[in-house]
Amino acid sequence: MNVNEGPVGSRQFVAHPPFWGSKVASKTTPAWQKKPGGSYLIMVVGVLAFSVVLGGLWIGVQSLAEDGSNWIQRATGYGFQYGLVLLLFGGVYGWTWWSRRRKIVIVVTGDGLTVSTRPGDVYSFSDAKLGTWGVTGGATMGTALHLQCGPRRFVLGGRDRRVSAGTRLEAPDAGYGQTIDVDASLSAADFEEILTVFGRRTGLDVRPPAPGETTRCLLFTNSLKVQEIGSFSFRKQQQFMRSLSQPRLAIDVGADSIRVIDPNSNGLIASVLPARVTATPVVFRPMRRRHWIPDLGHAISDAATNYWSTSPGIRVSVPGMSPLTIGCRDSVSGLDFRFSWPGDVRTEEARADYEVSGTDWLTLVEKFGLASHLETHGERGH
């Protein structure tokens, strides 16, 4: 958000920090990729141990509540049960609420910028570099500007802001699951103003894509499909999780054509006129019917699983191909989903086969003529 207040000749923006889990993922993902077997084993053991301890505690206090000989025992048991639920959900919500309200004030002058969270540092445009802002596997979130103040680096992300073909991208990819994460982010409109100053200072061409320029949208296997694999099929789960780092399909969106590509071989799968492609909005909401832990699963697992599995999606029909079901679970702050459809959109008790980033989602929705129906929460990039 541009608040347009500050010293004469400067512009002031209010940026947002990355959501609360991204910094942790940036440190743990490289280790996961280097030793996936060991990392996966540690994760499984940790989850099982937590489930056993929590489940045993839950069953114990439930027995106290149901079999207690007096009302004090029953009240204590039931109070602990519901208090545990409130503690789990309240803690997550409270942390998210606090992180969403953290603001980072950025002041931009002709020479560089200052950041409210780093008083005294001045980040110059002269040695700044441009790179992509993405997630593990290369999904696009936008563009990132890498700035330096001596040995200190500050990475500013521009949400949904794409660059035109041929733009020099000299900085490494930053974002969720990368070794470098963004320190703050702005909407595409505000980021555009900063890039204009950056372009004038460096002479680099940082224009956005021209109208009609082909844009590639990457489709990844829906990570939530791991829930359809047996609970103790560890090898299948491990192989599945490894496959998530590579896109399965790509859709090249152009002014006069829609092309479906194999991104790994760059082989053409289908090429049609945009008018021959139909897209229908849908809400994917699979229902969970299995529980590892009695009662605890019903109280907590159903709510969490159904919430995270629910996503707005589209069913895309391309001549010569089976329909593509695509979902998007992009978030505002890590817990609040960024996009949704109106209540009258059809719901399917299934998971989408593919998922895309918020940036690619907006491109597809707009190309297929569904943007007027989309409900967007938080600041929109386009």
What is the per-residue pLDDT across 226-250, written as a single tens digit (0 to 9) for each?
777 776 677 777 777 777 778 999 9
Angle, CA of 266, 270 and 276, to the nearest 5°: 145
Mean pLDDT, all residues of the chain: 77
295 found inside a domain: yes
Do 170 and 314 lie in one domain? The reply is no
Domains contained in the chain, number: 3
Do 51 and 109 lie in one domain? The reply is no
Do 297 and 189 lie in one domain? The reply is no
5 found inside a domain: no
Do 307 and 327 lie in one domain? The reply is yes
Percent of the chain with pLDDT over 90: 37
pLDDT attached to residue 176 = 73
Is the model's pLDDT at 38 over the cut of 60? no
Do 93 and 133 lie in one domain? The reply is no
Do 234 and 348 lie in one domain? The reply is yes
3-state SS of 287-332 is CCCCCCCCCHHHHHHHHHHHHHHCEEEEEEECCCCCCEEEECCCEC
| Higher-scoring residue by pLDDT: 160, 203 | 160
Do 37 and 154 lie in one domain? The reply is no
* Coil, helix or strand at residue 260: strand
Is the model's pLDDT at 133 over the cut of 70? yes
| Higher-scoring residue by pLDDT: 207, 355 | 355
209 found inside a domain: no
Angle, CA of 145, 138 and 315, to the nearest 5°: 120
* Structure token digits, residue 191: 């980021």
As beta bridge partners, residue 359 has none
In the listed set 47, 75, 100, which residue is the last one of a domain according to the structure?
A: 100
Do 349 and 289 lie in one domain? The reply is yes
68 found inside a domain: yes
3 found inside a domain: no
Do 82 and 177 lie in one domain? The reply is no
Do 95 and 106 lie in one domain? The reply is no
In the listed set 149, 177, 202, which residue is the last one of a domain according to the structure?
A: 202
Do 228 and 357 lie in one domain? The reply is yes
Do 297 and 365 lie in one domain? The reply is yes
In the listed set 61, 80, 100, which residue is the last one of a domain according to the structure?
A: 100
Distances from the Cα of 122 to the Cαs of 63, 112, 118, 153, in angstroms?
61, 7, 9, 11
4 found inside a domain: no
382 found inside a domain: no
The whole domain housing 45 covers 27-100
Q: Where are the beta strands (DSSP E) in 51-173?
A: 104-108, 112-115, 123-135, 140-149, 152-159
pLDDT attached to residue 40 = 47
pLDDT attached to residue 10 = 77
On the CB side of 262, CA atoms within 13 Å amount to 6
207 found inside a domain: no
Distances from the Cα of 136 to the Cαs of 32, 140, 149, 319, 337, in angstroms?
11, 10, 27, 31, 19
